[in-house]
Structure 1
Amino acid sequence: MTTPGYDQARVERRRREHERQAVVFGVLIAFLAVCGIFALAVYSGAISSPFNRPFTTVGASAQKTYPVPCLPAVEGQPDGALPVAYTQVDVRLLNASAEPGLAGAHETVLAERGFSIMEKGNVPDPLQESEIRFGAKGIVQAYTLAAQFPTMRLVLDDRTGSAIDLLIGEDFDPPLDIEDVDVAADQPLPNAEGCVPVDTIEPEPRIKPASDDADTVRPAK
């Protein structure tokens, strides 16, 4: 036969267990409600997801935004600068990624179109996106080459000649099919959106290929 005191202790113990269960379930329900509201807000576009960021390649250097020079005025071309004949565009191909063979693959396509491939090599630091580097005398050449690609970063550097460098990054876009290239010998090239006069830009230092001798380009990957 149980005593009233024992029954009362058991009732109190059950009451505390029920209270703890109510607190636990209440916290879980509140947490799920908050998650549901957050998911609905992300889905509707009211807020951006903290996980919505692009994948990046480990080791690829961060690329800043560079000002792009406008096309120069060319004597005898009052309507705007015409593209340079492909055979007069001297290009150095530099692999700026960890994937081998990119310089050679680009050489095959560009050389078939008539571009003059001077050299192939590598750069010491990988890039995420491809870019064309050129000096003040190679702006029209750079625009002419850039038209071969769906997108291309243009970077003015401190070189003095008209030869240009194509640095092939990790996320490179291959050249457009020849029929999709919007270049005609008698049609002026369009300026890049947001371009600025070349004399307002501080040129970047020219990138040297990865080599024991800074003046020698080693074979491309």
Structure 2
Amino acid sequence: MTDPSYDEARVARRRRQHERQAVVFGVIIAFLAVAGIFALAMYTGSLVGPFQREFTVVGVSQQEEVPAPCLPEVEGQPDGALPLPYADVEVNSLNASDNQGVAKAFEDVLVSRGFTVLELGTMPEGGRLEVSELRFGTKGIVHAYTLAAQFPSIRMVMDDRNGARVDLLIGDEYDTPVDIEDVPPVDEPLENVDGCVPADEITPKERALSLEMQAAEGNAAEG
């Protein structure tokens, strides 16, 4: 005959086992529920993952920080260099991103404001940029500052070209020109960009040519 105390002990053991199982399964279900909510928040964009980083565009170069040149002194303008007549500023509008058609769109805006746009082009893959730049030589500093006033912000990079023409390189994260009403008056002196350095203290970068310019130079060399 079975001892009643043994049956009671067995029932108690089973009860404790079932309680432990209920706790374990409850923890697992709660963990899965929290994980599901977290995954849903990540998917909808409500929550940013701790290891999430910005998307990097393939072919876009890391732009080194280089100082912009300060404005030169201009004879007859003791208060500082004035903007040039827009027609005197010659510009190449160059696409330095994968955004199709931006060079033409910028040309249309600049031409409508009186600038002289001479060439449209596309930079080679190694010359793609994240943010837009103006590139110019020592003879084109005032020209570049005159053009820079059309934008809310833009990097200014001096290169080793000889002439005064300015290259507008339109990067992947470009700013559109400001409204014409917000451009500083042409009778007010231009202002130096923050952190500028005298031009003679800057080592100019080597000029980067667009695909169209490279082809033209190659044809000239063959001829």
Alignment TM-score > 0.5, same fold: yes
* Amino acid across the alignment from 1:119: E
* Amino acid across the alignment from 1:199: D
Match of residue 217 from structure 2 = 215
Identity rate, percent: 50
Aligned 8 A contact 1:208 1:214 in 2: no
Deviation, 1:67, is 0.9
CA distance in 2: counterparts of 1:216 and 1:172, whole angstroms: 30
| Distance change >3 Å, CA 162–CA 150, structure 1 → 2 | same
Match of residue 206 from structure 1 = 207
Paired residue secondary structure (2:215): coil
Q: Which has the higher helix share?
A: 2
165-174 vs 207-216, which moves further: 207-216
Aligned: 1:98 with 2:92: no
Aligned: 1:69 with 2:69: yes
Match of residue 120 from structure 2 = 120
Paired residue secondary structure (1:215): helix
CA distance in 2: counterparts of 1:13 and 1:161, whole angstroms: 92
| Distance change >3 Å, CA 189–CA 2, structure 1 → 2 | farther
Deviation, 1:121, is 0.7
CA distance in 1: counterparts of 2:90 and 2:76, whole angstroms: 23
Deviation, 1:100, is 1.9
Match for residue 140 of structure 2 among 127, 138, 141: 138
| Distance change >3 Å, CA 181–CA 213, structure 1 → 2 | same
| Distance change >3 Å, CA 21–CA 187, structure 1 → 2 | same
Deviation, 1:138, is 0.8
| Distance change >3 Å, CA 14–CA 54, structure 1 → 2 | same
- Report the count of equivalent residues: 201
| Structure 2: gaps of 5 or more residues | 35-47
CA distance in 1: counterparts of 2:150 and 2:104, whole angstroms: 16
TM-score of the aligned structures, taking structure 2 as reference length? 0.76
95-104 vs 7-16, which moves further: 7-16
Match of residue 154 from structure 2 = 152
CA distance in 1: counterparts of 2:67 and 2:22, whole angstroms: 62
* Amino acid across the alignment from 1:104: K
Aligned: 1:12 with 2:31: no
| Distance change >3 Å, CA 54–CA 183, structure 1 → 2 | farther
Match of residue 181 from structure 1 = 183
Deviation, 1:64, is 2.5
Instruction: Supply the RMSD in Å over aligned alpha carbons.
Output: 3.2
Q: Deviations over 1:91-115 (max 9, x none)?
A: 1111112222211111111112221
The correspondence of residues 40-79 of structure 1 with structure 2, limited to 5 A, is 50=50, 54-79=54-79
Paired residue secondary structure (1:171): coil
CA distance in 2: counterparts of 1:2 and 1:210, whole angstroms: 96
| Distance change >3 Å, CA 51–CA 78, structure 1 → 2 | farther
Match of residue 191 from structure 1 = 192
| Structure 1: gaps of 5 or more residues | 33-47
| Distance change >3 Å, CA 202–CA 23, structure 1 → 2 | farther
TM-score of the aligned structures, taking structure 1 as reference length? 0.76
* Amino acid across the alignment from 1:159: R
Paired residue secondary structure (1:129): coil
* Amino acid across the alignment from 1:204: K
